[in-house]
Structure 1
Amino acid sequence: MDDNKKGWVFMNQKDLSDALVDQLNKSRRVTILVNGGWGIGKSHVVSDVGNGRLSEKQMNFIHLSLFGMNSLDEINKNLKREYLLSKSNQDETNMVKGMKAVFDNQTTRSVISHLSEKYIGLSIDPLNLLPLKLGDKFIVCFDDLERKSPNLPMDEILGLIEEISLKCKVIVIANEERIKESDLDWPIYKIFKEKVIDRTYTIDGLMDITVKKIIEEQMPGDDKFISDIRNTIFDFFIRHSIINMRTLEKSIAFVMDLRSRCNLDSVLTTLCCAIVNEDSLGQDLYSFSQKTRGKKDDSFYTKYSLRPNYEQLLLELLRFYSTNRLDDNKVKHYLNPNKTECELLLEELQEGHLKNETTLLAHFASVKQNLKVNNLKFFGSSEKLLYVLIHLQLCKNWFDISYDMNELKEWYLNVIVQLAQNGKINNVENIKLIYNQTVPFLNTFLDQYELAIQEQSGEYYLKKYTEYFDNKDYNSCSEIVHKHPGLILSIIDNLDLVAKDICTRELFAHLRLIVDISFRDKTNVHPLVEIRLSNLLHQTNDKVIKHRIKSLQS
């Protein structure tokens, strides 16, 4: 143990809390020093005791931070202000109640000060008239002693604390290691401590139960997802023996910020905590983002048991931590390496209630840009584009997001034609049934969608028909024409083959099917078939060919 620390009482949060409760309950007057490093949880424990564990004892707890205080007058005014606002000040006199009403109105205080200076030549702040009636039921806590203004002499503020300690119970919260850095303040502080302080408690670590409590308070929720994130943060801080409460709170805040942009897993959560911890230690974050080099003990990845292949992910999180800018796709592709950008975007829209307006506006901008440049690869299929547009509209309806779906119309009507694929028509009616009540533009869009699918369907089967025909697979050609008679107009030229010597039995059977379907279904192409056959009949003198043509006409 360091010689400077001999005689100090070392404890964790629970030890300190129990000791404070014990001392404050049994002592009529007591002055306690709570010492420890910054971020260790001193103020948290003291406030928890004053506002929580002692509240049943009807104790009045007044907390005053000395951070930046420049004068005793400023301290006194702030002390009286906290006195007025203390929650359990039940026995106020009428004067105090009146003063409290005056204090609550800054304008009234200024008017009184101005009038008093004008008529009696003396500026009076009503707050200075308030008697500070302390007693056994009051605890005054002076926090951040080491952070007082350099303009305020240490002996003056310690004299005030000593004066208050004669009227009530006092807690002083300080970081003695920081006070030692001042050659002027430290000697005075040591004299004061010996004369006034009854108990010194030094807190030197975060308890597991305290870490867990803070995490649960700041990340409430019973679902497994939240529970897993909480457990990851807890394990990180316990495993690495991190005792700074501010680092813990900052880590939780950073994790929750990232969660508002994307889903999380244990690796992302660990990276968030590691980044905040390195920042708290004053490290150069980007130097730690490099792959393992040299001594492994000096590596960021080894230190936090991470794989070096997380380098790009780490860099992206560092950028988010430093600039609040995040390439969502890089993080999402890490979480879902086998999913396309469109699939990831659709998942985000389907979980719109878990996101924020900024994220949804970014999704809208992404869809708009990909539609504008006809990025067919992004959407992949007409169905995916359809569902993306539907969920954009639903998010707009549900959350009143400020984007205009009409901005997309010019482009999605063009893109849908190019993306339409066969076999999707049956889904259209189901989509109408499910979404039509909440998506006003859906009927127009679905009509265009269905038309595009039908047109694209014809192009697809014409291509297949041509492939089969070139390979003389006439049976497969007949199956396509039977299912899609609308193709006859595109293949009517094939009837000319009936007048050629290459007309085999199989080809003739296929041509007969074409004519039969056009006659039977009374399609728009029926008159054209009749004219085509009549022209062929008049163009030939070959009796065999005439017989073939007449066979097709009969």
Structure 2
Amino acid sequence: MKANEIIDVLEKLGQSSYNRVLIEGEWGIGKTKYVEDFTKDYPNSCYISLFGQKDIKTIIQDIYFKLIANDDIGGKFKKRYTDMAGKLNKIDFSIYGFSLTIPLLGDIYKAMEKELSQKDTYIIIFDDLERKHEELGLKEIFGLSDSLSKIKGIKTVLIAATKHLDADNESIFFDYKEKAIDRTYFIEKYSDNAPVEILGEEVWETLSGLTEFFSFKNLRTFQKIKLLILEVINTLGQNVFSDKFTKEDVYRMCFATIVFNVEHNGKMILMDEKMRRYSESESAIVDYMCAYIMKNSLDNSMSKSVLFHIKRLYE
């Protein structure tokens, strides 16, 4: 699946028989962007990042706030949130086998559901599973997800890059996955329009042909290209550009700089290994970037003298 298809999955989840879903994909592929886009347009949902979370109580407080502090619900529910949040400290959360008992959350959801004219499914999305604090157990998260999904009308979604779980959590994840997850969706590629959305149409028109020679998996590469372009243009100023020195050449040189330093870790991996031994000088690297990354596409070949400085600026 492509990252933009996450929205379709979440939109159909309300009518689905699945209650506990996992969306799996590598870092930087666009998972969070499309999840957040969905929650902005779908009021019966909330987004919870597990990044750095240390305990279940804090997560539940976050869920309470997002369920009850919703502007559509009304002031009296915001007051009720304050009352209930205070009681959280008096509740003894305990694990029975695989689930957590959270009757209070169920009561609040039912009360809220009763007051609302609509009774749509409420989707709770937990992102950054692999970035949780080490003090928060993976079993606890699975237990919370399982317990929430047993409340009528609530669906839970876990977003993760399980490749980045440490050894202990990876073992727990695969031991409990079958019990804790009804359906897994694998995100293998960013959406087709993601690069142009990041870079803008003008830059993308110049770079799209070059990107076809490479296999990028992380959208942060395009974000770094955009930031470097902005930095270089701000440094040079708008008045330096002409038919002999074009903005398009700056776009290409910034692209080459990021590909070489970020994607290829500063190594001339596109060149034959024997040739690399004789091409380690900085001028040789600049020639390499022009020939192997930019495919000699500069409007003015003399512009590569600027590439030396752009490379230095970034490094």
TM-score by length of 1: 0.42
Please give the alpha-carbon distance, in whole angstroms, between the structure 1 residues aligned to 2:280 and 2:126: 39
1:17 aligns with 2:7: yes
CA contact (8 A) 2:123 2:157 kept: yes
Do the aligned partners of residues 300 and 84 (structure 1) sit closer, same or farther apart at CA in structure 2, a change above 3 Å counting? Answer: farther
Please give the alpha-carbon distance, in whole angstroms, between the structure 1 residues aligned to 2:179 and 2:48: 22
For residues 18-57 of structure 1, the aligned pairs below 5 Å read 18-22=8-12, 24-27=13-16, 30-52=19-41, 55=42
> What letter corresponds to residue 250 of structure 1 in structure 2?
K
Please give the alpha-carbon distance, in whole angstroms, between the structure 1 residues aligned to 2:261 and 2:205: 22
1:300 aligned to 264, 273, 289, which one?
289
1:250 aligns with 2:224: yes
> What letter corresponds to residue 21 of structure 1 in structure 2?
E
Aligned residue in 2 for 1:200: 184
1:266 aligns with 2:266: no
Query: What secondary structure, in the 3-state scheme, does the structure 2 residue paired with 1:33 have?
Result: strand
> What letter corresponds to residue 228 of structure 2 in structure 1?
F
**Structure 1 residues 36-86: Cα deviation after superposition (integer angstroms, max 9, x where no partner):** 11101111122223323xx3xxx4221111111112222223333333454
Displacement after TM superposition at 1:311 (Å): 5.5
Do the aligned partners of residues 128 and 206 (structure 1) sit closer, same or farther apart at CA in structure 2, a change above 3 Å counting? Answer: same
**Structure 1 residues 268-287: Cα deviation after superposition (integer angstroms, max 9, x where no partner):** 11222233344443714899
Please give the alpha-carbon distance, in whole angstroms, between the structure 2 residues aligned to 1:42 and 1:33: 12
1:190 aligns with 2:183: no
Aligned residue in 2 for 1:172: 158
Query: What secondary structure, in the 3-state scheme, does the structure 2 residue paired with 1:242 have?
Result: coil
Aligned residue in 1 for 2:311: 318
Aligned residue in 1 for 2:97: none
Displacement after TM superposition at 1:138 (Å): 1.5
1:162 aligns with 2:155: no
For residues 93-132 of structure 1, the aligned pairs below 5 Å read 94=76, 96-98=77-79, 126=86, 128=88, 132=105
Aligned residue in 2 for 1:464: none
Displacement after TM superposition at 1:139 (Å): 1.2
For residues 538-553 of structure 1, the aligned pairs below 5 Å read none
CA contact (8 A) 1:31 1:171 kept: yes
Do the aligned partners of residues 292 and 71 (structure 1) sit closer, same or farther apart at CA in structure 2, a change above 3 Å counting? Answer: same
Aligned residue in 1 for 2:204: 230
**Structure 1 residues 234-259: Cα deviation after superposition (integer angstroms, max 9, x where no partner):** 44444423231222223223222333
Please give the alpha-carbon distance, in whole angstroms, between the structure 2 residues aligned to 1:289 and 1:32: 52
Please give the alpha-carbon distance, in whole angstroms, between the structure 2 residues aligned to 1:65 and 1:211: 25
Unpaired segments ≥5 residues, structure 2: 92-103, 114-119, 239-245, 269-278
CA contact (8 A) 1:37 1:204 kept: yes
1:68 aligns with 2:55: no
CA contact (8 A) 1:60 1:138 kept: yes
Do the aligned partners of residues 305 and 272 (structure 1) sit closer, same or farther apart at CA in structure 2, a change above 3 Å counting? Answer: closer
Do the aligned partners of residues 146 and 215 (structure 1) sit closer, same or farther apart at CA in structure 2, a change above 3 Å counting? Answer: same
**Structure 1 residues 276-327: Cα deviation after superposition (integer angstroms, max 9, x where no partner):** 344443714899883447xx9xx433431355966542232234335xxxxx
Please give the alpha-carbon distance, in whole angstroms, between the structure 2 residues aligned to 1:73 and 1:281: 40
> What letter corresponds to residue 245 of structure 1 in structure 2?
L
Query: What secondary structure, in the 3-state scheme, does the structure 1 residue paired with 2:36 have?
Result: helix
2:214 aligned to 237, 240, 247, which one?
240
Larger gyration radius, structure 1 or structure 2? 1
CA contact (8 A) 2:3 2:191 kept: yes
Please give the alpha-carbon distance, in whole angstroms, between the structure 1 residues aligned to 2:251 and 2:164: 33
Do the aligned partners of residues 300 and 29 (structure 1) sit closer, same or farther apart at CA in structure 2, a change above 3 Å counting? Answer: same
> What letter corresponds to residue 224 of structure 2 in structure 1?
K
CA contact (8 A) 1:77 1:127 kept: no
Please give the alpha-carbon distance, in whole angstroms, between the structure 1 residues aligned to 2:202 and 2:197: 15
Query: What secondary structure, in the 3-state scheme, does the structure 2 residue paired with 1:283 have?
Result: coil
CA contact (8 A) 1:33 1:200 kept: yes
Do the aligned partners of residues 170 and 189 (structure 1) sit closer, same or farther apart at CA in structure 2, a change above 3 Å counting? Answer: same
Do the aligned partners of residues 274 and 17 (structure 1) sit closer, same or farther apart at CA in structure 2, a change above 3 Å counting? Answer: farther
Unpaired segments ≥5 residues, structure 1: 1-10, 104-123, 217-226, 323-554
Query: What secondary structure, in the 3-state scheme, does the structure 1 residue paired with 2:224 have?
Result: helix
Do the aligned partners of residues 215 and 85 (structure 1) sit closer, same or farther apart at CA in structure 2, a change above 3 Å counting? Answer: farther
Do the aligned partners of residues 246 and 292 (structure 1) sit closer, same or farther apart at CA in structure 2, a change above 3 Å counting? Answer: same
Aligned residue in 1 for 2:96: none
CA contact (8 A) 2:224 2:258 kept: yes
Do the aligned partners of residues 25 and 157 (structure 1) sit closer, same or farther apart at CA in structure 2, a change above 3 Å counting? Answer: closer
CA contact (8 A) 1:64 1:82 kept: no
Query: What secondary structure, in the 3-state scheme, does the structure 2 residue paired with 1:13 have?
Result: coil
Displacement after TM superposition at 1:144 (Å): 0.7
Please give the alpha-carbon distance, in whole angstroms, between the structure 1 residues aligned to 2:186 and 2:80: 39
Q: Which has the higher contact order (CA 8 A, sep 6+)?
A: 2
Aligned residue in 2 for 1:79: 63
Please give the alpha-carbon distance, in whole angstroms, between the structure 2 residues aligned to 1:48 and 1:288: 45
**Structure 1 residues 92-132: Cα deviation after superposition (integer angstroms, max 9, x where no partner):** 471x22256x69xxxxxxxxxxxxxxxxxxxx963838954
Percentage identity across paired residues of the two chains: 24
For residues 71-470 of structure 1, the aligned pairs below 5 Å read 71-86=55-70, 90-92=72-74, 94=76, 96-98=77-79, 126=86, 128=88, 132=105, 133-134=108-109, 136-167=120-151, 168-179=154-165, 182-216=166-200, 227-261=201-235, 262-263=237-238, 265-281=247-263, 283-284=265-266, 290-292=282-284, 299-307=288-296, 312-322=305-315
TM-score by length of 2: 0.71
**Structure 1 residues 195-225: Cα deviation after superposition (integer angstroms, max 9, x where no partner):** 1212211111123233333444xxxxxxxxx
Q: CA RMSD in A?
A: 3.4
Richer in strand (by share): 2
